[in-house]
A and B are shown apart, each in its own frame.
Chain A
């Protein structure tokens, strides 16, 4: 390792150091507030380091990591998500008065795992990153262990994630057996020299797809999603829905691109089936949900189905669209979960739709924010979600993938129904609710500010996406 590599790795090192700093702070028995603020500053530092590193790219730490514009984009997205999640966590855990401090260690470690995924170009780093993410998530999901469904969700995730890891390892072993390498680029080279259609390789890829599909909660592997979303503390749910999925998607994208999997019709078919199944199942199951968190779980299944449509062609435009989509999707989901966090009471998270009835007349700002988020999920103009969906449709149409595109259109009309249902609940007749205990107004202020900033960002993405698209393009060119 030389200095350049160290510098390029600096954001990731900082991320790891952040968790250590938090451990030390806990050891010195500092208060939650201090930890929260330090965490935020550290994340800012990571962002600065990322920007610094962007001048040096691309840097390869052969053969494990490949730090390029692509990785930078995804890591940046991840860190942004975690920053926001961290902000929301304060109110949430402060209200519960359970010891919230270790939470931040796990949060940062999980982020590190996802970030490692986004730079990994080797099976080893892929696996370690994935495990780091999962192990942190086990604990995070079951963090409020006094609640019944939290432990259930944690165990469910643990068991299924362990099985999916086994599948992943087996798949890797098969590919290794075929090609004799665990590095993406070398595998690609080996495959080109051999005629490439070996059954061993296809089977191995299939097994890996199972594992990835589990992590992304794609359709046949989605069974954990709703329970985990509901059982986990709301900020953690936001983390699972955004950061963990972004990381896994990044590595999938890199693997797919480097190997050139789009040349394998079989693999394409598999992803096509996954995409279509996710869109249909996600949207249909969401129709009958009475709990906003479960509803968002199913909706995110559907959204990753949409995202796969952009990913199917396996070209550069697809990557660009995927990044844009993930950006607007994560902002939207963070807003939605942020609102849920704000409204949650001590005993339980506000998930039940009945609790949202008439919110607009009680807390117009909060409700308007949530409405915008839902409209963005539904893909209505003036929000980022619309342009994201539009770009996905455009990439699909460009590659003449009429079948998934049509499914996308039909299912998003179905999806419209349940988003509208939530919105009309918000605007319904108000019911009186007990007044909550209030915290220091400063933290409400920051949470509200971050929510509003994100809403503005979302609308800005929806109306003037040009700068963002150009930035994404520029970064993606750094290879």
Chain B
């Protein structure tokens, strides 16, 4: 029941924001902040409460189920294990920061903005806990529509185009997934005679290899679009660069994670054999994504596009690690999900702050900002280093674990992936240099971080360092899940 509260609090909060904004926009901001804080509190308490269980037993921590549409065997079934819990923590944490980020950025239609923001978050947290495939698809779509509005209404100059592209890409993938879900549903029904969308029941389906491959393809494409894997990554730079700051933060920090979560939770468990068959190809795409994303990132002049392409690169690691089928690589993947969420989120937040001050995203027009705003420069340095995988920071642990896990399986592909790290150093340092170092451009020096912004960046920075120094609690939490 507590899981339903998590989603419910966001949905209700969203409505509240919309209503309150009619009287007072300030109030609506606070409502959004408070509902997210309450959500974070709930997740935190759950994590605290089940902290020991998750380490020792391979069970589902909380399992809640009621019938929804029994005629079709659809139930409202939510459950979490260590993996879901970690990702939920990330969701509420980043959600809180996203609200803070947009505190001053959004000046018009505030209520509706926060409504969309909270509903997207509700959809995302639903995706992380749905254990009924129909429900999963449902939440998958619920997070999409408000996100579309976030981009289409509060985005930048080219927002329409970006929003269309984002929506149509993901929706096409989503519908293929729906087909695959239905196929699975009917295969199960013919085998067991029970019509159900329940994840646990569907786990028992035995599929002919040919069927399994097709059905898996449906799932995989949906997740690959979301992740994004290289040939399907086209929507990402547009959507990321046009979205408002909080939108980019959520897109990069959370939405991409749903793709990875989907692969780990559904593709690997429902179709173990078929997934193993395509492992080599998937890892190849992962490696290609790492290098390709990094190279394109190096070529960008638009700050947000640059960061977007680094996401493509980082998500390549995720794909690579998942399909290595090694415990250690999977642990790395989950670390990568967290650190990428935090690191890239921070970079996007920074880009948003810069844009607020300079009204441009073009790094050719920036330069020498360090002297004017040393605090932001320092923060930027921290996250750039995280992005290129400096030890002591979370991303280092993540990428190291992934490469460590993958190397025995595919030495050649892993070596290619390692090249990505070098490129990462190149693009990160180039960005750093262009923006913060070099000759000063522009007339008036912009102001440094405000306290609010400092809080955002500091929280992100501290968590990044903590993840780098003490990754063990997280690794413990997901150990049992990964073990299966």
Q: Which residues of chain A have a CB within 8 Å of any CB of chain B?
A: 361, 375, 380-382, 386, 390-391, 393-394, 397-398, 405-406, 409, 412-413, 416-417, 420-421, 424, 427, 464-466, 469-470, 473
Contacts and interface: CB of A to CB of B under 8 A. Distances in A.
B194 to A, nearest CB: 14
Given A382-B142, A416-B171, A427-B152, A409 B71 contact: no
11 contacts: A380-B141, A380-B145, A393-B182, A398-B186, A409-B175, A409-B178, A412-B175, A413-B175, A416-B171, A420-B167, A424-B163
Contact of A413 (B67, B134, B168): B168
B142 A381 contact: yes
Contact of A466 (B69, B148, B153, B168): B69
A466 B138 contact: no
A412 B148 CA distance: 17
A469 B69 contact: yes
B149 A417 contact: no
Query: Which of A398, A406, A464, A473 has the most C-beta atoms of chain B within 10 angstroms of its own C-beta?
Result: A398
B152 A424 contact: yes
A393 B184 CA distance: 13
Given A382-B142, A393-B179, A427-B149, A413 B186 contact: no
A412 B176 CA distance: 11
B280 interface: no
Contact of B182 (A382, A397, A413, A470): A397
Contact of B172 (A380, A413, A424, A466): A413
A409 B177 CA distance: 10
Contacts of A416: 167-168, 171
A398 B72 CA distance: 12
**9 cross-chain pairs, A with B, having the tightest CB-CB distances, nearest first:** A397-B182, A381-B141, A409-B175, A413-B172, A469-B71, A381-B138, A466-B69, A424-B152, A427-B153
A288 to B, nearest CB: 15
Given A381-B141, A417-B168, A394 B72 contact: yes
B70 interface: yes
Given A391-B72, A397-B179, 19 more contacts: A380-B145, A381-B142, A393-B179, A394-B72, A394-B185, A397-B183, A405-B179, A406-B179, A412-B175, A413-B168, A416-B167, A421-B164, A427-B149, A464-B68, A464-B69, A466-B68, A466-B69, A466-B71, A469-B69
Contacts of A380: 141, 144-145
B55 interface: no
B121 to A, nearest CB: 16
Given A393-B178, A393-B182, A405-B179, A386 B172 contact: no
Contacts of A424: 152, 160, 163-164
A470 B185 CA distance: 21
Given A416-B168, A417-B168, A470 B178 contact: no
Query: Which of A375, A382, A424 has the most C-beta atoms of chain B within 10 angstroms of its own C-beta?
Result: A424
A464 B175 CA distance: 21
A382 B123 CA distance: 12
A391 B179 CA distance: 11
Contacts of B178: 390, 393, 409
Contacts of A420: 148, 163-164, 167-168
B145 A417 contact: no
Nearest to B139: A381
B22 to A, nearest CB: 10
A346 to B, nearest CB: 32
Contacts of A394: 72, 182, 185
A407 to B, nearest CB: 12
A380 B147 CA distance: 13
Interface residues of B, number: 33
Contacts, number: 67
A371 to B, nearest CB: 9
Given A393-B182, A409-B179, A424-B160, A473 B168 contact: no
A397 B215 CA distance: 12
A470 B145 contact: no
Contacts of B153: 427
Interface of B: 67-72, 109, 134, 137-138, 141-142, 144-145, 148-149, 152-153, 160, 163-164, 167-168, 171-172, 175-176, 178-179, 182-183, 185-186
Given A397-B182, A397-B183, A466-B69, A413 B171 contact: yes
A181 B164 CA distance: 55
A394 B167 CA distance: 23
Contacts of A398: 186
A303 B11 CA distance: 31
A390 B70 CA distance: 15
A171 B165 CA distance: 48
A427 B164 CA distance: 14
A393 B175 CA distance: 10
Contacts of B167: 416, 420
Contacts of A386: 141
A367 to B, nearest CB: 11
A116 B137 CA distance: 40
Contacts of B163: 420, 424
Nearest to A466: B69
A405 B175 CA distance: 11
Contacts of A473: 71
Contacts of B179: 393, 397, 405-406, 409
A424 B152 CA distance: 7
A60 B142 CA distance: 46
Contacts of B71: 466, 469-470, 473
A424 B164 CA distance: 9
A427 B148 CA distance: 12
A466 B141 contact: no
Contacts of B164: 417, 420-421, 424
Contacts of B142: 381-382
A357 to B, nearest CB: 12
Contacts of B137: 381
Nearest to B137: A381
A391 B186 CA distance: 13
Contacts of B176: 409
Contacts of A375: 145
A427 B160 CA distance: 10
Contacts of A391: 72
Nearest to B70: A466
Contacts of A464: 68-69
Nearest to A394: B182
A420 B179 CA distance: 22
A143 B138 CA distance: 44
Nearest to B179: A409
Nearest to A320: B71
A170 to B, nearest CB: 40
Nearest to B142: A381
Contacts of B72: 391, 394
Nearest to A368: B112
Nearest to A364: B112
Contacts of A421: 164
Query: Which of B70, B137, B167 has the most C-beta atoms of chain A within 10 angstroms of its own C-beta?
Result: B167
Contacts of B182: 393-394, 397
A409 B181 CA distance: 13
Contacts of B168: 413, 416-417, 420
A302 B333 CA distance: 43
Query: Which of A386, A393, A397, A421 has the most C-beta atoms of chain B within 10 angstroms of its own C-beta?
Result: A397
A405 B145 CA distance: 24
